[in-house]
Amino acid sequence: MAKATKKQALGRGLSALLKDPSNDIQSANDKNADKVVGNIVELDLTSIAMNPFQPRTSFNEEALRELASSIKELGVIQPITVRKLGFNEYQLVSGERRFRASKLIGLDTIPAYIRIANDQESLEMALVENIQREDLDPIEIALSYQRLIEEIDLTQEEMSDRVGKNRSTITNYLRLLKLDPIIQTGMRDGFISMGHGRALINVEAQEVQLDIYEKILSDKLSVRETEAIVRGMKNTATGTASKKKALPKFAKEAQSSLSNLLDSKVSIKVSANGKGQLVVPFTSKEDFQRILKQIKGEK
C-alpha cells in the first residue's frame, strides 16, 4: 500500500511540474523531459482532448458503466496514453474507454503515460495499440489494418512486425472488408462471428452472401454449418460448369452446323447418360416459320 501511495504522490508531483510554464516540455531533449516522458503522471481530465485518429467508433454503454463502477471502487489500474500538444494540453492516444468511464463518475484526474509525437506517429500509435486490445470487433481491427496500409504506408510485412501478428492473420482481417456492409454491421454488433464472415467471403455475389447471412440469423447456424452451405454451393456450381464443358464432339459439331444452316444460335445439351435436348431459338412468328421451312427443306 505504501508503494501505491508513493507512486500516486510521484504522479501528482510530475503533474505540478507540467503545470509550471517555466518547465513546458515540448521535446524529449527538453529539461526535465526524462522525468515525465515514459512515467505515470496524474493529468486533469479537462486538459485531455479526444483523439481524432481513434479507430474505435462505437462503445457498449453497459460495458462502459461496468468499467466506471470498477474504477470507482479500485481506481484506474492501467494508465491511459496521451501525447503532448502544448502547455497543459494533451491528446488521447489510447485508453478512451477508461477516459470516458472516469468522466462518467466525475473524476478530476486520471493517470497517464505522456508521449511526444507528431500526427502521423500519433495515428500509428493509436492504431497499433488499439489493434492489440481484445475488445475490438473484427471489423474495427480490419479498418485499423487498412488505415495503417493507406495512411501510414505500411506493407503487410511491416505491419506484421509492428503488431506482432502473422501476415496471414492480417490478410484474413482485411478480406472481411469485402463483405456486404450489412454483414459487416452484423459482425460489429455481434450477430455473427468472424468465422461466419470468413466463410461468407468465399461467396462472390453479395446478394447470395446476404441470403446466407439471413439464414444464419434465422436458423442460428454455426460456423461449420455455414461453411457446409458455402461448400455445397461451390460444388453445385462446379458440377454445372463441368456438365456444360462435357458436351460430346458429335454434339459440338452438330451445334455449329445447325446454327449455320438455320441462321440461329442453336444450343445442345447432353447429360451423362447420353440423353439431351436441342434448342432452336426464334425472335418472331415470321422467324419461326423461316426456321421451320429450313428444317423441312422448303424454299
**Which residue, among 286, 276, 274, 284, has the nearest Cα to 255 in the 3D structure?**
276
Three state DSSP letters for 163-191: HCCCHHHHHHHHHHHHCCHHHHHHHHCCC
pLDDT per residue, tens digit, the chain (299 aa), is 334 444 444 445 566 666 656 566 665 556 666 666 666 788 899 999 987 766 565 677 888 888 899 898 888 878 888 888 878 888 887 788 899 999 999 999 998 888 776 666 666 777 777 677 666 788 888 888 887 777 677 787 888 887 788 888 889 999 998 898 889 888 988 899 999 999 999 998 888 899 999 999 999 999 999 999 998 887 665 545 444 556 788 888 888 888 888 877 888 888 777 778 888 887 777 778 888 888 887 76
Domain-by-domain residue ranges, the chain?
2-117, 188-243, 247-296
Of 119, 120, 100, 118, which Cα lies nearest the Cα of 110?
100
Q: List residues with catalytic annotation.
A: 96
Other CB atoms closer than 10 Å to residue 83's CB: what's the count?
20
CATH topology of domain 2-117: 3.90.1530
> What is the number of other CB atoms lying within 10 angstroms of the CB of residue 97?
18
Q: What is the pTM of this model?
A: 0.46
Q: Could you give the dihedral angle defined by the CA atoms of residues 64, 65, 66 and 68, in that order, rounded to the nearest 10 degrees? A: 90
What is d(CA 88, CA 110) in angstroms, rounded to the nearest whole number? 14
Q: In the numeric block, which cell numbers belong to residue 279?
A: 434448342
